[in-house]
Chain A
Amino acid sequence: MKRLFCGIILLVTLLNFHAFALAEEDVLTIAVVTASDAMNLPAEEAFFKRYPSAVIEYRLYTEEQLNTMLIAGTPEFDLVILPYQTLLNMAKKGYLAPVDQVLEQNGYPSQLLDLSDLLTIDDWVFALPVSVAQQFWIWNEDIAAQIGVSMPEADAWTWADYAEFTRKFPYDADGDGKADTYLMYGSCLPAYPAFHNVNLNMFTQYAAQFMDFDAFGEQYLDLFRENITGEALLDMENDSETASEILIQEASASNPIDILSSSLPDEQSDSMSFSQTDEQSGYRFLTPPLLDKNNVSYVGSMSACGMLKQAGRTDLAAAFLQGMVSEDALDYGTFAVSEQLVSCEAPEYMYFDENGSFAPNFTNQDNALVYRVSAGRNIPVISFVYSKAAFAKSQDFREKLSIDTFLMGRDFYDSAWAYFQEWYYGHIDDAELIQNMQYLFGVARGIR
């Protein structure tokens, strides 16, 4: 009996010791809502240089879980990497700590892409950018030459100019009497059969820049009607049958030069070059049209990293944020999974995760989806050469990022497009459309 008793005491002591040892482990917890936000190789490696024995634990939550934890005052994380709009909301409600104080510098870090207007509230920086993606257009120089049109001036052409441009399309390039060249692809939304030649992003361009939809209606509804109901856009469903050409392609990426000048390296090559300019490739980078020439901004999305006021491990969180703006991190990009490129200067090296070996793999632990990263990974690195001019051009474009104050989810688009379809069919008039859009925007933004 005595032996059994001693054994139990020993076991309990060992278990306690084990639990104590676990508690003592240096764990930085980062909350994310999309798995891809847990891929931050440059910042992670910079962090591990300072804390080689620490572990970074990404926890994948739904936004509802995250909100519940914050409202209940029981967040189980130190940092959050989230869509910009969610983070802005958290900052406004006082859940985030000023990041510039943690970085021991005044104001927004000069090493990063200048998005200070977006990431600053009342002179304090609430988050650092992690990745930026923007919609941009690609101009096909060969088709333009065939038709005899010249590329609109960047940062200067408006949707009114665009409407003017659409009147030249569709165009019969080969002279066989059939139209074969269109301006752009339409969105071809299966749920909205009336809109097979409509470009969805035209709407987002407008919506994101208008706080008040009434003003939009007054100034631009007629123009928008012309743009969406014209024949200049190619119905995607018909494309396979007609083999038509389009002058402008729409794209969204973290950096326009990836699309315009990328070429995969030779199999045996240990370096990669993005040195080709867009003029050389035959495809040229075109800024989307503006509503107002005096307000040059382009719609896109951003994820950013903020630190919780209630962070348990502020030391580790600060080290991660410092890692994000360190030369160690900014000299590296990550290729193959996501290329973040939020530094002012082009990175000289790339973590080349060709097989996706370092992509986040979340597993269920204690009823939470967890992905743990620790030091000692051997990540292949390749040197990298960017065309300086192209990089500067795309970064200049990215600094004109415009983001709406609320996250436009699928349900928002569905509702907006349902109203537009009603309007298109004539079920509702202009006034009703504007009223319904006011309702959608009002619901999305709230009263405070």
Chain B
Amino acid sequence: MKRIAQAHGKNSKYNALVFPAKDMIWLLPGVAMYCLCYAVPYLISFLSSFLSNSDRPEFAGLENYRALFSDGFYWLSLKNTLLFLFAAIGTTLILGILIAHILFSLRYLQPLIVLLLIPVFLPSSSLAALWRAMMGSNSQLVWLLHPRDASWKYLSLFLLFLWKNLGVATSLMLVGLHGIDPSILSAGELDGASGRQLLCRIELPLLRHVIMFAIIYLLMNGVRIFRESYLLYGGYPPTNLFFVQHYINGYFTRLDYSLLSSAAVVFSHVVLILFCIIWSILRKGDCDEK
């Protein structure tokens, strides 16, 4: 750390982080808690994925992974999860930016953001009950429209995600817009930039960090949408809503902990790769700026 601080000079922000080695001991409780709550359970799952599934597990090598990758249902669940994440996160972000932009222009409407945040505070079970009443197979809408079941259920869950997360996404964007120096926007206007150009060339690049944070937040919530999906459609959703967590839950019900662990390990790596991609885009943006 000292070396980093020296490399960055006296006024570097890293100077604040420099402390004597003996003080490292104060980090131990935090490190221990991290190990206990994150590293150890992950390690146990990782090791379990190499064991046979019985009351006396034996080393099974890559057998569980072989079984997993040869199972069409796992690929289906992975494909569905990623597609849903891309579609839901993308739509939420675009709508969030647009609404934030409107609210930023019409400042007297900004207190209304609270209305968009209400779903965040509602428990999943209430949300699911409400959604079932509104869009379930017994609802008036379904009786009236006779929609295709699978598409309707997909739309229903998609809208639920949007409804639940749009408030937070909009709030983040609004905070980001407030953080932009007004003189930059004024300069852009003076240079004759149109509204679209201001948004694409000035606001969005400056909102980069906020957008990345929003993506990470939405990604976490997207992965957790299984909870609502399970409450709405149980363990047998339509084919297009069969997520990785449904797959994992199925093997939990069948007491197949080894396959469950391998599925979870693979999926955690997929999510990790997604985070790395987001992170590298962010870093690239920072480098370009410099």
Task: Report how far A412 CA is from B143 CA in the complex, Å.
Answer: 22
A70 within 8 A of B: yes
In the complex, what residues of B have CB within 8 A of residue A446's CB? 250-251, 254, 256
Instruction: Give the interface residue-count category, chain B.
Output: 20 to 34
Task: Report how far A425 CA is from B249 CA in the complex, Å.
Answer: 32
Q: In the bound complex, do residue B235 and residue A410 qualify as a contact, i.e. CB atoms below 8 Å apart?
A: no
Q: In the bound complex, do residue B236 and residue A93 qualify as a contact, i.e. CB atoms below 8 Å apart?
A: no
How far in angstroms is the closest Cβ of chain B from A40?
A: 25
Binary interface encoding of chain B residues 243-256 relative to chain A, with 1 for a CB under 8 A from any of its CBs, else 0: 00010001111111
Cβ-closest chain A residue relative to B242: A443
How far in angstroms is the closest Cβ of chain A from B15?
A: 47
Task: Report how far A97 CA is from B138 CA in the complex, Å.
Answer: 46
Q: In the bound complex, do residue B233 and residue A415 qualify as a contact, i.e. CB atoms below 8 Å apart?
A: yes
How far in angstroms is the closest Cβ of chain A from B147?
A: 9
Task: Report how far A67 CA is from B253 CA in the complex, Å.
Answer: 7
Q: In the bound complex, do residue A448 and residue B256 qualify as a contact, i.e. CB atoms below 8 Å apart?
A: yes
B4 within 8 A of A: no
For B67, B146, B149, B246, the residue with the greatest tally of chain A CB atoms inside 10 Å of its CB is B149
Check A436/B239 contact, CB under 8 A, given A94-B56, A448-B67: yes
A90 within 8 A of B: yes
B234 is contacted by which of A63, A409, A419 (Cβ under 8 Å)?
A409
Q: In the bound complex, do residue A89 and residue B67 qualify as a contact, i.e. CB atoms below 8 Å apart?
A: no
Q: In the bound complex, do residue B73 and residue A442 qualify as a contact, i.e. CB atoms below 8 Å apart?
A: yes
B148 within 8 A of A: yes
Q: In the bound complex, do residue A443 and residue B55 qualify as a contact, i.e. CB atoms below 8 Å apart?
A: no
How far in angstroms is the closest Cβ of chain A from B256?
A: 7
Task: Report how far A332 CA is from B71 CA in the complex, Å.
Answer: 49
Q: In the bound complex, do residue B237 and residue A93 qualify as a contact, i.e. CB atoms below 8 Å apart?
A: no
Check A421/B149 contact, CB under 8 A, given A94-B55, A414-B236: yes
In the complex, what residues of A have CB within 8 A of residue B72's CB? 442
In the complex, what residues of B have CB within 8 A of residue A144's CB? none
In the complex, what residues of A have CB within 8 A of residue B65's CB? none
In the complex, what residues of B have CB within 8 A of residue A67's CB? 252-253, 255
B257 within 8 A of A: yes
Task: Report how far A409 CA is from B259 CA in the complex, Å.
Answer: 23
In the complex, what residues of A have CB within 8 A of residue B138's CB? 190-191
Q: In the bound complex, do residue B255 and residue A444 qualify as a contact, i.e. CB atoms below 8 Å apart?
A: no
Q: In the bound complex, do residue A418 and residue B255 qualify as a contact, i.e. CB atoms below 8 Å apart?
A: no
Cβ-closest chain B residue relative to A73: B55
Chain B residues 138-165 with CB under 8 Å of chain A are 138, 143, 146, 148-150
How far in angstroms is the closest Cβ of chain A from B216?
A: 29
Task: Report how far A318 CA is from B138 CA in the complex, Å.
Answer: 49
In the complex, what residues of B have CB within 8 A of residue A94's CB? 54-56
B53 within 8 A of A: yes
Chain A residues 404-448 with CB under 8 Å of chain B are 409-412, 414-416, 418-419, 421-422, 425, 427-428, 436, 439-440, 442-444, 446-448
Cβ-closest chain B residue relative to A63: B253
A71 within 8 A of B: yes
B238 within 8 A of A: yes
Check A443/B73 contact, CB under 8 A, given A94-B54, A411-B235: yes
Count of A interface residues, CB-CB < 8 Å: 39
How far in angstroms is the closest Cβ of chain B from A194?
A: 9
B137 within 8 A of A: yes
Q: In the bound complex, do residue A419 and residue B149 qualify as a contact, i.e. CB atoms below 8 Å apart?
A: yes
In the complex, what residues of B have CB within 8 A of residue A440's CB? 236
The B interface, classified by DSSP as helix, strand, loop or mixed, is: loop
Chain B residues 240-290 with CB under 8 Å of chain A are 242, 246, 250-257, 259
Q: In the bound complex, do residue B137 and residue A415 qualify as a contact, i.e. CB atoms below 8 Å apart?
A: no
Q: In the bound complex, do residue B255 and residue A415 qualify as a contact, i.e. CB atoms below 8 Å apart?
A: no
A415 is contacted by which of B70, B148, B238 (Cβ under 8 Å)?
B238
Task: Report how far A309 CA is from B72 CA in the complex, Å.
Answer: 34
In the complex, what residues of B have CB within 8 A of residue A71's CB? 252, 255, 257
Binary interface encoding of chain A residues 362-388 relative to chain B, with 1 for a CB under 8 A from any of its CBs, else 0: 000000000000000000000000000
How far in angstroms is the closest Cβ of chain A from B119?
A: 24
A77 within 8 A of B: no
Cβ-closest chain B residue relative to A68: B252
How far in angstroms is the closest Cβ of chain B from A227?
A: 22
Q: In the bound complex, do residue A411 and residue B236 qualify as a contact, i.e. CB atoms below 8 Å apart?
A: yes
Cβ-closest chain A residue relative to B54: A94
Cβ-closest chain A residue relative to B252: A67
B71 is contacted by which of A89, A309, A447 (Cβ under 8 Å)?
A447
A95 within 8 A of B: yes
Q: In the bound complex, do residue A411 and residue B250 qualify as a contact, i.e. CB atoms below 8 Å apart?
A: no
In the complex, what residues of B have CB within 8 A of residue A191's CB? 137-138
Q: In the bound complex, do residue A411 and residue B233 qualify as a contact, i.e. CB atoms below 8 Å apart?
A: yes
A356 within 8 A of B: no
In the complex, what residues of A have CB within 8 A of residue B143's CB? 193
In the complex, what residues of A have CB within 8 A of residue B259's CB? 447-448
In the complex, what residues of A have CB within 8 A of residue B149's CB? 418-419, 421-422, 427
Task: Report how far A442 CA is from B250 CA in the complex, Å.
Answer: 11
In the complex, what residues of B have CB within 8 A of residue A309's CB? 55
Cβ-closest chain B residue relative to A407: B253
In the complex, what residues of A have CB within 8 A of residue B251's CB? 446
How far in angstroms is the closest Cβ of chain B from A35?
A: 21
In the complex, what residues of A have CB within 8 A of residue B146's CB? 425
In the complex, what residues of A have CB within 8 A of residue B67's CB? 447-448
Binary interface encoding of chain A residues 321-353 relative to chain B, with 1 for a CB under 8 A from any of its CBs, else 0: 000000000000000000000000000000000
Q: In the bound complex, do residue A90 and residue B253 qualify as a contact, i.e. CB atoms below 8 Å apart?
A: no
For B54, B146, B236, B257, the residue with the greatest tally of chain A CB atoms inside 10 Å of its CB is B236
How far in angstroms is the closest Cβ of chain A from B52?
A: 10
Task: Report how far A421 CA is from B238 CA in the complex, Å.
Answer: 13
Task: Report how far A442 CA is from B149 CA in the complex, Å.
Answer: 20
Chain A residues 46-99 with CB under 8 Å of chain B are 63-64, 67, 70-71, 89-90, 93-95
Task: Name 5 A/B residue pairs within 8 A (Cβ), A-sorted.
Answer: A93-B256, A94-B54, A415-B236, A444-B236, A447-B259
The 8 closest A-B pairs by CB, nearest first: A411-B234, A415-B236, A94-B55, A94-B54, A191-B137, A418-B149, A93-B255, A71-B257
Q: What residues make up the interface of A, taking CB atoms closer than 8 Å to B?
A: 63-64, 67, 70-71, 89-90, 93-95, 190-193, 309-310, 409-412, 414-416, 418-419, 421-422, 425, 427-428, 436, 439-440, 442-444, 446-448
19 more A-B contacts (CB under 8 A) besides A71-B252, A418-B238, A421-B149? Answer: A94-B55, A94-B56, A191-B137, A411-B235, A412-B235, A415-B236, A418-B137, A425-B146, A427-B148, A427-B149, A428-B148, A443-B236, A443-B242, A444-B236, A446-B250, A447-B67, A447-B70, A447-B259, A448-B67
